[in-house]
Amino acid sequence: MFKKILIANRGEIALRIIRTCKEMGIQTVAVYSTADKDSLPVRFADEAVCIGPPSSAHSYLQIPHIIAAAEITNADAIHPGYGFLSENARFSKICQENNIKFIGALPEQIESMGDKANAKATMLAAGVPCVPGSEGILKSLEEATSVAHEIKYPIMLKATAGGGGKGMKVAWNDEELADAWESTRREAAAAFGNDGMYMEKFIEEPRHIEIQIAGDQFGTCCHMSERDCSIQRRHQKLVEETPSPFMTTALRKKMGAAAIKAAKAVNYEGVGTVEFLVDKHRNFYFMEMNTRIQVEHTITEEVINFDLIKEQIKIAAGKKISGKNYEPQMHAIQCRINAEDPHNNFRPSPGNIQEYHEPGGHGIRIDTHVYAGYTIPPNYDSMIAKLITVAQTREEAITKMERALSEYIVEGIKTTIPFHSQLMKNEKFRKGDFTTKFLEEGFELKPI
């Protein structure tokens, strides 16, 4: 087992990783920017190293600073958390070259899953269902038009280097395709330095359902229930839950098997997520594979009663897994509490938390790094806490969430708490009747 892990991240996930390391008897090193010098990860880690000024580009994304911190403290592994360097192939490679175990995917795996057209070709070859579309990169508008006629409009053009909703456009006819061809290519070239485009049939009103998987260094894989992440706004997830209200036992079996095929196709080692689009007929299609621990891993932990960070560390250290799949035993929901004003277009609202009171009681979990008196710096992601409820049924988990939100006091800044309170009361949400379009088309936030 590792003796000392450096956590190349900040906020709640840094704290989450430190907690598991303590329970495993592993020493921890926090790295921090000057904006985070008073943070809880710095206080609770065994050692802490400053790696730069507030801006992420000069601190949490500075590979040489992080490697130097690991060398100075003699850390034998680095946990990257999510975001920042967690899916950076170069960082994974540099860790390898410096004999530091990167707790995440191998450089080749990150690279091959990062190129979407390539990822899709790999999955198709492995027998994972994919959306009908072009075979790889389109060479010209003529070829694009011909593929569109074959699969029939509406279609979606996607940048192979895209992700997170950037570099994609829907077209309903030849004329729109011609416009989209030029504009998305230009956008992709500017945003990613890669203008490779591929095409898919546009799936209308899909659900976003992802499967948690784990694979060990010996080729054994398992699936660990799904997460429904359809409640998103501008590609930012706001609420996640497991099981999905749209799931059936038969569909879980099929999607779980497809996710394992996906993992085996890339010899996946570690914990990961296979994202699918699911249409109204319960057809499902591979979308992306994430080679990191995700923000929403918490709800999976609650329904299978399992520490995913501990598993991630053990697999990285060479542990064998049994290969047995996990079924959800409970229902869990997570609301992301962001320092944003939901009544003002979710505008970021950093600043000082003057008063802070957390809800508590049975079936409630809060993953956060904030406390009364803490000042949220303006430099990073606006998520300040994850509020998770766990209960026997979906209805009880929602009721518990309403109760928990009503007790959650955060003064001095605006948060997404009022948004979640209203969503939990929404009839369609309560019925589980929602798709990725729900927040844009089916939900209106009432004024305060």
Residues catalogued as catalytic: 292
Task: State which amino acid sits at residue 382.
Answer: S
Task: Check: CB of residue 386 under 8 Å from CB of residue 12.
Answer: yes
- The answer to the question of residue 114 lying near ligand MV4 (CB under 6 A) is no
The nearest distance, CB 188 to ligand MV4, in angstroms, is 13
- The answer to the question of residue 336 lying near ligand MV4 (CB under 6 A) is no
**Which CB sits closer to ligand MV4, 51 or 171?**
171
The nearest distance, CB 331 to ligand MV4, in angstroms, is 21
- The answer to the question of residue 226 lying near ligand MV4 (CB under 6 A) is no
- The answer to the question of residue 14 lying near ligand MV4 (CB under 6 A) is no
Please choose, out of 33-41, 138-146, 201-209, 351-359, the segment that lies near ligand MV4 by the rule CB under 6 A: 201-209
**Which CB sits closer to ligand MV4, 124 or 321?**
124
DSSP summary character for residue 56: G
Please choose, out of 64-72, 199-207, 259-267, 301-309, the segment that lies near ligand MV4 by the rule CB under 6 A: 199-207
Ranges within 117-136 binding ligand MV4 (CB under 6 A): 131
What mask, x for binding ligand MV4 by CB under 6 A, covers residues 276 to 295? Answer: -x---------xx-------
Q: How far apart are the C-alpha atoms of 125 and 133, rounded to whole Å?
A: 14
Taking each helix axis from N to C end, the angle separating 141-151 and 174-192, rounded to the nearest 10 degrees, works out to 120
Task: State which amino acid sits at residue 160.
Answer: T
Please choose, out of 79-87, 195-203, 213-221, 376-384, the segment that lies near ligand MV4 by the rule CB under 6 A: 195-203
Binding residue for ligand MV4, selected from 208, 227, 336, 394, defined by CB under 6 A: 208
Cis peptide before 243 (omega within 30 of 0): yes
Q: How far is CA 236 from the centre of its chain?
A: 9
Reading the block at residue 250, the tokens are 């038969």
Q: How far apart are the C-alpha atoms of 128 and 417, rounded to whole Å?
A: 38
- The answer to the question of residue 436 lying near ligand MV4 (CB under 6 A) is yes
Binding residue for ligand MV4, selected from 200, 216, 240, 301, defined by CB under 6 A: 200
Burial class (CB in 10 A: 0-12, 13-18, 19+), 322: exposed
Q: How far apart are the C-alpha atoms of 60 and 26, rounded to whole Å?
A: 22
| End-to-end Cα, the chain, rounded Å | 52
What mask, x for binding ligand MV4 by CB under 6 A, covers residues 357 to 396? Answer: ----------------------------------------
- The answer to the question of residue 202 lying near ligand MV4 (CB under 6 A) is yes
Please choose, out of 29-37, 203-211, 239-247, 249-257, the segment that lies near ligand MV4 by the rule CB under 6 A: 203-211
Q: Which of 244, 304, 237 is nearest to 82 (CA)?
A: 237
Quote the radius of gyration of the chain (alpha carbons, Å): 22
Q: How many CA atoms are closer than 13 Å to the CA of 95, on its beta-carbon side? A: 29
Size of the site for ligand MV4 (CB under 6 A): 16
Q: What angle do CA 14, 15, 17 make, to 5 degrees?
A: 65
Q: How far apart are the C-alpha atoms of 324 and 342, rounded to whole Å?
A: 42
What mask, x for binding ligand MV4 by CB under 6 A, covers residues 132 to 161? Answer: ------------------------x-----
Binding site for ligand MV4 (CB under 6 A): 131, 156, 163, 165, 200-203, 206, 208, 232, 235, 277, 287-288, 436
